[in-house]
Amino acid sequence: MSTAHINAAIKGEIAESILLPGDPLRAKFIAETFLDSPRCYNEIRGMLGFTGTYKGVPVSVQGSGMGMPSMGIYSYELISEYGVQNLIRVGSAGSFHEDIKLMDIVVGLSASTDSAWQRTYNVPGHFAPCCDYDLLIKVKEASDKENIPIRAGNIVSCDVFYEDDPEWWKSWAKMGVMGVEMEAAALYMNAARLGAKALAMVTISDHFVTGGRLTAEEREKSFTDMMKLALEAVVA
């Protein structure tokens, strides 16, 4: 039953709960670091996917790529073809505020966007993409239990990485938007349309105020606190 982008042969190869890092190498790192007996079910386009167990519960982790079109493809196929019910993005983001620092974990209660993604649903207005409340509560409970602090609020999913106007982010910042990433809004809209639960968690890797930036290796391997919270939430 493989799709154009995922070659898992049968529905049961992918768990009902899944973590979605953008980077497929981060998916491999999560699987090898946290999961028991992980097995690779997808290698199409190098977008690695694994299934194993965490504390005895089946969990999958799948690279989702960069940008809303890529996240949209993988999340849609995972939900509609493989029956995935709980999807947690574990990604990176850029902070718009000095007090939201590098390596801080931010949970997207909602995901503003400059994308025209919602037009496909013919909604007669502006749809407000938001996270699933149950997953949010489970992440908060895991945060308290593990003593790993989180921030929560509005994030923005943007289509363009290299914006033409260097001051573009300040318009979002003045509205209290915490930071920018490129996938959450598509994930939230697909989940809403298809009846699944979704949550986006991001670790701050870039800072628009201070100019700070993590390395590529740090983005791949240092987000272990966020990964831990996501896994605790999906097995709670």
Catalytic residue among 104, 132, 206, 225: 206
Residue type, position 185, single letter? A
Calculate the dihedral angle through the C-alpha atoms of 17, 157, 40, 26, rounding to the nearest 10 degrees: -110
Residues 199, 136 contacting (CB under 8 angstroms)? yes
Residue indicated by tokens 């349309």: 193
Active-site residue, 132 included: no
Rg (CA), the chain: 17
Query: In DSSP terms, which residues pair with 39 in a beta bridge?
Result: 51
Q: Which residues contact 52 (CB under 8 A, 6 or more apart)?
A: 31, 35, 36, 37, 38, 39, 58, 59, 60
Residues acting as catalytic residues: 206
